[in-house]
A and B are shown apart, each in its own frame.
Chain A
Amino acid sequence: MDTGFDPLTIRADFPVLAREVNGRPLVYLDNAASSQKPQVVLEAVAAFYRHHYAAVRRGVYTLSEEATAAYEEARDKVAAFINAPDRRSIVFTRNTTEAINLVAHTWGRANVGPGDRILVTEMEHHSNLLPWMLLCQEVGAELVYLPITDGGRLELPQLERLLDGPVRLVAVTHVSNVLGTVNPVQAIVAQAHAAGALVLVDAAQSVPHMPVDVGVLGCDFMAFSGHKMCGPTGCGVLYGRVELLEHMPPFLVGGGMIERVGFTGVSWASLPEKFEAGTPAIAEAVGLGAAVDYLERVGMEAIHAHEKALTAYAMESLAALPGVRLIGPPAEERSGVIAFTVASIHPHDLAYALDRQGIAIRAGLHCAQPLHERLGLAATARVSFYLYNTREEVERLVSAVWNAQRWLAG
């Protein structure tokens, strides 16, 4: 199948990929942590600052009106990108973490009480775990875990039993940032809704890498980060169903999010301003809009297919090395994330050895300590792909791991 997708053409869009690290061309394989930025995004941010920058929403002068229009246009782009039916359902936050904390603080404190339950899974990133753990501790609710199998899949047969009770919310990751597992969110949402629970989807690892449609998933809340999808740091997204957002109390309070303030009371601004207190990350949102345009031009289906092919190739090649253990499900069931261990080499030492060869990978617990504990793992190495990675880079990774084994083996 020829999709017209050419990673070499794409690479030319990303200035940083031209650089060398430790005398070798950079191979960037930490995309699950954050992605690199294409020239069009860098230019969009710079051009906005050069020509249109001002505070948004308040000014009646031309610049502020231009800045407000650009900021709100970015919101429209993001809404269309995930097929949200209503632009008011898109709240700009700093990142995924802040988006989830927002829901836990506002919806959570208004709707979760003593004896209620929040259901999370054993594969959550700390950002989709700690806000719920704290909420439960605070209001006397119970945090319940949907277990995973040894192979790194959710134990879906247990979902029905766990939903039988006062479960108010299911908080689940769409794609695991360690295992790469793609969870069947649509089915989970259907089951949760049937049991009367809402669903928040942590889409930090899905929205950047595959087509995601909130209408199809049917979820109530979704969170993701601009910086993982070619956008600038400092601007992430909370999607929430408008009916829910409308009834939620605000998160941070102050400027920009009120309708009227008197000496004794206030009325909140309408959506989405109610949840965007203070001056937002305006230029970063504009950059995120440019990133969305860029990703749509390349095509999310094509990006997903490319990453899946690279992942299958990398898993096969890594598994052929002695002492390499891959964590998680087979390639068909995952996105472009591979966590692995190498016998008798600590992941930090492996990451260091690869860095000496120009290759950037992640080592550690990847903000998923309970998951590592569940799988009996100390720390792991992780590679994660994006649209600009190539088969040749996978080959460099594999020979670099082999070199590390030679250099470090006792």
Chain B
Amino acid sequence: MEVLYCEHILDHYRYPRNEGVLEDADISHQRDNPLCGDMIRLDIRLKDGVVEEARFSGRGCVLSIAAASMLTEEIVGRSVAELEAYQDEDIFRLLGITLGPVRARCALLPLQVLKEGLSQLAR
């Protein structure tokens, strides 16, 4: 049988980690992917400038859901400064694949939501 996505990506898609919303989030932000109408929302609660809890919700393809699920695991325990330093490559590293420009937009949607959420926190 053909392998479409590596097993750990499919695993995050089928059994997403940290799915849901946080009522008392410090950062709460969502964004659409205009290409396909997908939407990812991130809720993050901070304690002393460090991520205490992170949740995601929304709808999307395997890549956007898996990336959101992995990101919420990845950022717990990290400082705001560390979050701000995240790059596209970090998402590709988490997913373990490189992507063409169109599908990269799906995978990077959760990171984009995070970055926009952080900029609102700063304001």
Show the binding face of A for B, using Cβ within 8 Å. Answer: 346-349, 352-353, 356-357, 363-365, 369, 372, 378-379, 403-404, 406-408, 410
Contact = CB atoms under 8 A, between A and B. Distances in A.
A352 B4 contact: yes
Interface of B: 1-2, 4, 10, 14, 34-38, 59-63, 103, 106
Contacts, number: 50
B65 to A, nearest CB: 8
A348 B36 contact: yes
14 contacts: A346-B61, A347-B36, A347-B61, A348-B62, A348-B103, A349-B62, A353-B4, A357-B2, A365-B34, A369-B37, A378-B38, A378-B59, A379-B37, A407-B4
A356 B61 contact: no
Given A363-B36, A364-B36, A365-B35, A346 B4 contact: no
Contacts of A348: 36, 61-63, 103, 106
Nearest to A357: B2
A162 B62 CA distance: 43
4 tightest A-B contacts by CB?
A346-B61, A348-B61, A379-B36, A364-B36
Contacts of B14: 410
A364 B103 contact: no
Given A346-B60, A346-B61, A346-B62, A379 B4 contact: no
Given A363-B36, A364-B36, A379-B36, A408 B62 contact: yes
Contacts of A378: 36-38, 59
A379 B2 contact: no
A407 B4 CA distance: 7
A182 to B, nearest CB: 26
A365 B36 contact: yes
A365 B38 CA distance: 10
A181 B71 CA distance: 42
Which of A348, A357, A364 is most buried by chain B, counting CB atoms within 10 A of its CB?
A348
Contacts of A356: 2, 4
A359 to B, nearest CB: 13
Contacts of B35: 364-365
A407 B37 contact: no
B37 A403 contact: no
A406 B10 CA distance: 13
Given A348-B106, A352-B103, A408 B36 contact: no
A2 B34 CA distance: 45
A349 B34 CA distance: 16
Contacts of B59: 378
Contacts of A406: 1
A274 to B, nearest CB: 35
A357 B2 CA distance: 10
Which of B4, B14, B63, B106 is most buried by chain A, counting CB atoms within 10 A of its CB?
B4
A92 to B, nearest CB: 30
A348 B10 CA distance: 14
A10 B1 CA distance: 34
B118 to A, nearest CB: 26
B99 to A, nearest CB: 10
B42 to A, nearest CB: 19
A410 B16 CA distance: 12
Nearest to B105: A348
Given A364-B36, A372-B37, A378-B36, 8 more contacts: A347-B36, A348-B106, A352-B4, A357-B2, A365-B35, A369-B37, A378-B37, A378-B59
Nearest to A22: B2
Contacts of B4: 349, 352-353, 356, 404, 407-408
Nearest to A346: B61
A346 B59 CA distance: 9
Nearest to A369: B37
A357 B63 CA distance: 19
Nearest to A363: B36
A228 B34 CA distance: 23
Nearest to A410: B14
Which of A346, A356, A408 is most buried by chain B, counting CB atoms within 10 A of its CB?
A346
Contacts of B2: 356-357, 403, 407
A348 B62 CA distance: 8
Contacts of B34: 365, 369
B55 to A, nearest CB: 21
A403 B4 CA distance: 11
B107 to A, nearest CB: 10
A401 to B, nearest CB: 13
A407 B1 contact: yes
A349 B61 CA distance: 6
A249 B62 CA distance: 50
Contacts of A408: 4, 10, 62
A354 to B, nearest CB: 11
B109 to A, nearest CB: 11
